[in-house]
Amino acid sequence: MVIAATATVRPEKTPQALVVDDDAQVRKTLGRVLKALGIGAAEAASGREALLVLEESGEVPIVISDIYMPEMDGLALLREVLRRFPDTAVLMLTGVAEVNTAVESLQLGAFDYLSKPILVDEFRIRVEKALEKRRLVLENRYLQQSYHDRLEANVRELNLRNKEQFLGQVQMAVQMLEKKDVYTRGHSQRVSRYAARTAVMLGFTGTMLDQIRLGGDLHDIGKIGTRDAVLNKPGPLTREEFEEIKKHVIEGEEILEPLRRDHAVVLEIVRSHHERMDGSGFPDRLRGESIPMAARLVSVVDAFDAMTTNRAYRASREPADAMEELLRCAGIQFDPDVVAAFLKAFPDASRLPLAVA
């Protein structure tokens, strides 16, 4: 034990090699050859000692180890080194009669082996070869990794761009939809602005607020599929016509399906903005708090805007009247908290409806 402790040699800087042999003469010679190659080497007299050195220094590029040594032999050390530092190149030193052991060490992952007695020139060449190979392996891995990272970043950016492009397209579709119908011109934009300000009053911020704003803009996107004759009918709708209009919530949700992962709230708004607190709405006849909050919100401001603008089938109401109507229907059709927040967000009815471009 005492001998082992004194056998350990540590260079001043972090070692680039570790020579493990119970023969001090071998260690000394190999250490000198390595030094001439510009490689600072630590020394250890057994496997156990070698592990202590590695524990302190961390990974070293190359370990040169004898096979038969006291305490822990070369093969056990090889296993342990590769388990902890898979990138270390391990060179085994074997006696002439140890060919089988040499082969076994290669199977275990040793980089190479050298037969004793060791020729200095051969040793030098093998060490340089091992270090060169290790460098190439690491470089290749680095390149692969950075290629993989770059690829991943590109895919992420592409997804983002596709999504932005898609959003631009559906927003344009909403504008075209409103151009078809003089009565609903600006409806989505106003609903979006009413919804956003009411949402702020209710304490929503960040991405939730952004989605409510966008949901207000897109809530009727499904009406793209509704026939103009039904959309613009100047009179009460037949039962069939009303059924056709009702489909716009499901069709809208289908159109926006690509947004579901990042904009789930927008899809909730589109699907559920015609639900009513008493469960008599559509499409799912949801009741009370089972209606998504953002949809309850858009439901209120959508109704307000519908009441305060001219429609094909009726003239507009005064904003103050419309607010009275919201209050009257709070708890039946609308969420009372949302109605209260809306009135708080727009306290001066005489300045409504909002003017939009």
Which residue, judged by CB position, is nearest to Fe ion in the bound state?
A: 220
Distances (CA, A) of 317 to 94, 246, 304, 307, 323: 99, 24, 10, 6, 10
Helix (H), strand (E) at residue 65:
strand 62-66
Helical H segments across 262-318, by residue range:
264-272, 293-308
Longest C-alpha distance within the chain, in Å? 107
**Residue 234: closest CA among 177, 315, 325, 307:** 315
Distance, in Å, from the CA atom of 191 to the CA atom of 193, rounded to the nearest integer, reads 5
Closer by beta carbon to Fe ion, 145 or else 280: 280
Distance, in Å, from the CA atom of 137 to the CA atom of 109, rounded to the nearest integer, reads 14
Closer by beta carbon to Fe ion, 106 or else 306: 306
Q: Note whether 305 binds Fe ion by CB under 5 A.
A: no
> How far does CA 325 lie from the centroid of its chain?
45
Two tokens, residue 166 = 């898609």
Number of residues that bind Fe ion (CB under 5 A): 1
Q: In what order do the strands lie in the sheet with 62-66?
A: 41-44, 17-20, 62-66, 89-94, 112-115
Distance, in Å, from the CA atom of 303 to the CA atom of 308, rounded to the nearest integer, reads 9
For the CA atoms of 219, 225, 230, 236, what is the dihedral angle to 10 degrees? -40
Closer by beta carbon to Fe ion, 43 or else 220: 220
- Rounded to a whole number of angstroms, the minimum distance from the CB of residue 166 to Fe ion is 21
Closer by beta carbon to Fe ion, 10 or else 246: 246
Residues 1-60 that bind Fe ion (CB under 5 A): none
- Rounded to a whole number of angstroms, the minimum distance from the CB of residue 220 to Fe ion is 4
Two tokens, residue 285 = 């006849």
Closer by beta carbon to Fe ion, 65 or else 184: 184
Contact flags string 307-346 toward Fe ion, x per CB under 5 A: ----------------------------------------
Closer by beta carbon to Fe ion, 21 or else 275: 275
- Rounded to a whole number of angstroms, the minimum distance from the CB of residue 283 to Fe ion is 11
- Rounded to a whole number of angstroms, the minimum distance from the CB of residue 221 to Fe ion is 9
- Rounded to a whole number of angstroms, the minimum distance from the CB of residue 273 to Fe ion is 6
- Rounded to a whole number of angstroms, the minimum distance from the CB of residue 148 to Fe ion is 45
Closer by beta carbon to Fe ion, 66 or else 220: 220
Closer by beta carbon to Fe ion, 220 or else 268: 220
Cβ atoms within 10 A of the Cβ of 69, count? 23
Contact flags string 203-222 toward Fe ion, x per CB under 5 A: -----------------x--
- Rounded to a whole number of angstroms, the minimum distance from the CB of residue 244 to Fe ion is 13
| Residue labelled with tokens 């898979």 | 86
Contact flags string 220-259 toward Fe ion, x per CB under 5 A: x---------------------------------------
- Rounded to a whole number of angstroms, the minimum distance from the CB of residue 278 to Fe ion is 18
| Residue labelled with tokens 């082996």 | 113
**List of residues contacting Fe ion (CB under 5 A):** 220
